[in-house]
Amino acid sequence: MTTVEEAVGRPDGATVRRARRVAVHTFRPRRSWPALIAAAVLLAVAALAAAVVIAGLAGAPLRIPLVTEAADRAAGARLGDPGVQIASAVLALIGLLLIGSALVPGRTGWTALRTDDPDLVVGVSRPALKRALAAAAREVGGVRGARVSVRGRRVRVRVDSDLSGSPTLRDEVNAAVQRRLGELDPLRGMRVGTRVRFSRT
C-alpha cells in the first residue's frame, strides 16, 4: 500500500520555500486602521483643496475662514521661515510614522502551520493553539490543571499538581507539549517553558 507522499513524491526545496513565503504573507497581520485613517485624512484634504481651486477658477472663491487664513499665510511664506521649516518637519515625521506603521507587522492572532504546498495554507488561532497545548499538558499523569500562554514564538505552560515534589513532572509536561507542537508543526519553531506548582499537603 502506497502513501500519498510516495505516490505524489515529496516537494522539492523551491516548492517548500514558496509554500513558506505564501503562508507567512497570508497570516501576516494587516495595518488596516492606520491606512484607513491616513486615506480618510488625505481624501478630506484633497476634496477641500479641489473645492477651493474649482471655486476660484469659477470666479466665486470659497470663504472658509480657516482655509482663507491658511492660504494667505502660505502665499506670503518663504522656505527659510521657521514656521515653514517646523511644518515641513512635522509632515515629514508623520510620513515616516506612517511608513514605519506599514512596514512593521502588528500582532497576529494566528499561527501558520507547515504544509509544504503553496496552494494550501493552514493556520490555527491562538486560543485554539493554547487549548490544544493545555490539553496535552493535562494528559500527563499527576497534572490537575494547566494554563498556556503564547507570545510570539514562546509558549509558557503552568501546571498544578497534587504530586508533591515530583522531579520528572516538569520534563514530562514539557515533552507532551513539544509532541503536540510537533503534530501541529508550526511554520516557525516555538520554545516551550514549563512551570509546575505543587499543592501543599
How high is the mean pLDDT of the chain? Answer: 79
* Nearest alpha carbon to residue 197 among 172, 168, 154, 163: 163
Q: Of 79-88, 97-106, 169-178, where does mean pLDDT reach its minimum?
A: 97-106
What would the DSSP string read from start to end of 15-81? HHHHHHHHHHHHTSPP-HHHHHHHHHHHHHHHHHHHHHHHHHHTT-----HHHHHHHHHHHH--TTS
Domain co-membership, 93 together with 144: no
Domain co-membership, 126 together with 192: yes
Domain co-membership, 96 together with 140: no
5 pLDDT tier (thresholds 50, 70, 90): very low
Contacts of 146 (CB under 8 A, 6+ apart): 134, 135, 137, 138, 157, 158, 159, 160, 173
Per-residue pLDDT tens over the stretch 18-66: 777 766 666 666 666 777 787 888 888 888 878 877 877 787 777 777 7
pLDDT at 7: 42
Per-residue pLDDT tens over the stretch 93-124: 988 887 777 777 666 778 888 887 777 888 88
If one counts the domains in the chain, the total is 2
115 vs 184, which has greater pLDDT?
184
* Angle (CA) 11 15 20, round 5°: 115
> CATH number for the domain including 121?
3.30.70.1350
Last residue of a domain, one of 103, 124, 147: 103
Q: What percent of the chain has pLDDT over 90?
A: 19
Is residue 6, in this structure, part of any structural domain at all? no
130 pLDDT tier (thresholds 50, 70, 90): very high
Question: Has residue 129 got a pLDDT over 80?
Answer: yes
Provide the residue range defining the domain that includes 139. 111-198
pTM value surpassing 0.85 = no
